Amino acid sequence: MSTVNKAFLVGHVGRDPEIRYTQSGDPVASFSLATADVWKDRTGQKREQTDWHTVTVFGKQAEVVREYVAKGRLLCVEGQIRYEEWTDKEGTKRRTTKIHVSGGGRITLLGKKPEDAARPTSDRPAPAAPEAPLADEITDDDVPF
């Protein structure tokens, strides 16, 4: 029986992507993604918890990130959860969790493109990015069950 390591996140990009290149010239894009959970507590007070995720995108999808993703953009990210460990300069062991998007994962552009979003940088015409209206915030009062 095979196993599955898959993460699906829908959130807003927290900072413009950083693009690097491997020694072989393949692009690698990194950015933060914020997901939020909003609820009302027992006293009726609105509560919110935001979680920040580090996303690393490889290959052709990193080119899409370079062309169309900027701070504030709503994305659906499908990738693998990866844990990385290292020792910092002070000798302290550190651990981080990242979402890796490569061959088996994907980035889906959602919502409207923010005003300051990256423009295509190549001379060739860019393919049209899917544009869907942003959904209004839904509260518990809006759910009929």
CATH code for the domain of 45 = 2.40.50.140
Asked if pLDDT for residue 122 goes beyond 70, the answer is: no
* Residue 68 and residue 61 in contact, taking contact as beta carbons nearer than 8 Å: no
**Enclosing domain of residue 25:** 7-134
In this prediction, residue 130 carries a pLDDT of 39
Lowest-confidence region among 7-21, 24-38, 114-128: 114-128
Is 140 a domain residue?
A: no
Number of folded domains that form the chain: 1
Is 90 a domain residue?
A: yes
Percentages of the chain per state (helix, strand, coil), in multiples of 5: 10, 45, 45
In this prediction, residue 78 carries a pLDDT of 95
Is 143 a domain residue?
A: no
Say if pTM beats, i.e. exceeds, 0.85.
Answer: no
In this prediction, residue 142 carries a pLDDT of 41
In this prediction, residue 114 carries a pLDDT of 60
Residues 6+ apart with CB under 8 A from 18: 29, 30, 31
Is 2 a domain residue?
A: no
Name all contacts of 17-23 with Cβ < 8 Å and 24+ positions apart: 17/57, 17/65, 17/66, 17/69, 17/70, 19/62, 19/65, 19/66
Band of the pLDDT at 104, cuts 50, 70, 90? Answer: confident
